[in-house]
Amino acid sequence: MGKTKTHSETLTRALGLVTVTLGVLLCAPGTGTAAGDISTDASGALSKKTKEVIEISQAAVGRQVGNYKLYGANGAEYHINDFRGKPLVINMIYSSCVESCPPLVTSLGNGVDIARDGMGKESFNVITVGFDTAFDTPEHMGEYGEMLELAGKNWLFLGGDIDQIQGLSNDLGFMFYPTKNGFNHLDQVTVIDGKGVVHTQIYGANFAPTQLGEPLKAILFGTSTPYASVDDLVKRVRLFCTVYDPELGRYRFDYGIFVHLLAGATFLLLVGTFLARQLWRFAAESKAAKKSANTGNLA
């Protein structure tokens, strides 16, 4: 039986929906929409369908993704659970899409390159899944990845049977609808943690590298029990010290925090030394005064 939502929880959910909606509109391609069904009416208000699609997508955050079966171009069989232990980045497309899917995959490729440069080439996996099962066969998806020069180690372009594709789509909160010209769908990239749980949704055919890099950084370097071990301490340091440099266009390790820590430690040492000397001096003067008083009494 579900718990009754408090006023605070309802307000938080509403604010989250507004934030996501703005992200979709700001990160979308030049048409001003993230996909065919992400639209506004004549007054500029979000359409009912848009709100429904975003709510369904956001509801997937925190959801365990099922162990669906997919296939590669070489006939290899993959299960979602095969990617456990590392973050998994998934996006679903249909390969005959000419409007938003190519720039989405290209934008994802840029984000993946930057994230791997800063966090390790094998730190996470990526799969692109074709949802148009009549056309997006494993062989065709493999050709699609090669055409974009993205298929390779730790990035697979996969196809699957309709029931598996539909199940995966539902678990990811990814909605698509057939139209006379193809499909309407949300331009979405989903980041899954090492336990197979949806962590973050990214929207828009063109998104900033940090939109992918930051959730990956949080998964890879975050820890629920900080400082419980040396490994936890190292992860926590990497979490705070790995930063995106927009001028360089990549993540880098920021040593500035150590400079600040050293400066702070030096300041505390100086203050501590000063206080210790003052206390020692006060104690010495008190002792001398007491001794002098005792001597006067004897006289």
CA distance 159 to 144: 11
Instruction: Find the radius of gyration of the CA atoms of the chain.
Output: 28
User: 180 pLDDT band (50/70/90 cuts)?
Assistant: confident
Given this model, what pLDDT does residue 15 score?
A: 40
Q: Which residues of 90-129 are buried (b: 16+ CB within 10 A; e: fewer)?
A: bbbbbbebebbbbebbebbbebbebbbbbbeeebbbbbbb
Spatial distance between the Cα atoms of 137 and 116, rounded to a whole number of angstroms: 28
Higher pLDDT, 280 or 242: 280
- Report which of 169, 175, 196 is spatially closest to residue 80, judged by C-alpha positions: 196
| Cα 117 → chain centroid | 16
- Alpha carbons 71 and 77: distance in angstroms, whole number: 5
Q: What does pTM read for this prediction?
A: 0.65
Distance, in Å, from the CA atom of 97 to the CA atom of 74, rounded to the nearest integer, reads: 23
Closest to 213 (Cα-Cα) out of 121, 112, 84:
112
164 touches 45 (CB < 8 A): no
Query: Tokens standing for 165?
Result: 């594709």
Report which residue type is found at 239: L
Q: Look at residue 291 and give its three-state secondary structure.
A: helix
- Looking up tokens 């030394």 gives 273
pLDDT tens-digit profile of 94-134?
999 988 899 999 999 999 999 998 889 999 999 999 999 99
Reference 95, options 30, 157, 173; nearest CA is 157
Q: 226 φ, ψ to 5°?
A: -60, 140
**Percent of the chain whose predicted confidence (pLDDT) is above 70:** 68
Q: How confident is the model at residue 39 (pLDDT cuts 50, 70, 90)?
A: very low
Average confidence (pLDDT) over 137-153:
90
- Is residue 142 within 8 Å of 73, Cβ to Cβ? yes
Query: 188 in helix, strand or coil?
Result: strand
Measured CA to CA, the distance from residue 286 to residue 299 in angstroms comes to 20
Confidence of residue 244 (pLDDT cuts 50, 70, 90): low
Helix, strand, coil: what percent of the chain each, to 5?
50, 20, 35
Tell me the three state secondary structure of residue 130: strand
Could you tell me which CATH class the domain 12-221 is placed in?
alpha beta
Q: Phi and psi at residue 269, in whole multiples of 5°?
A: -65, -45
Rounded to whole angstroms, the Cα distance separating 95 from 92 reads 10
Q: Which amino acid, 51?
A: K
Residues 130, 141 contacting (CB under 8 angstroms): yes
Per this entry, what is the length of the chain?
299
Query: Over 80: is that where the pLDDT of 38 sits?
Result: no
Calculate mean pLDDT across residues 142-156: 88
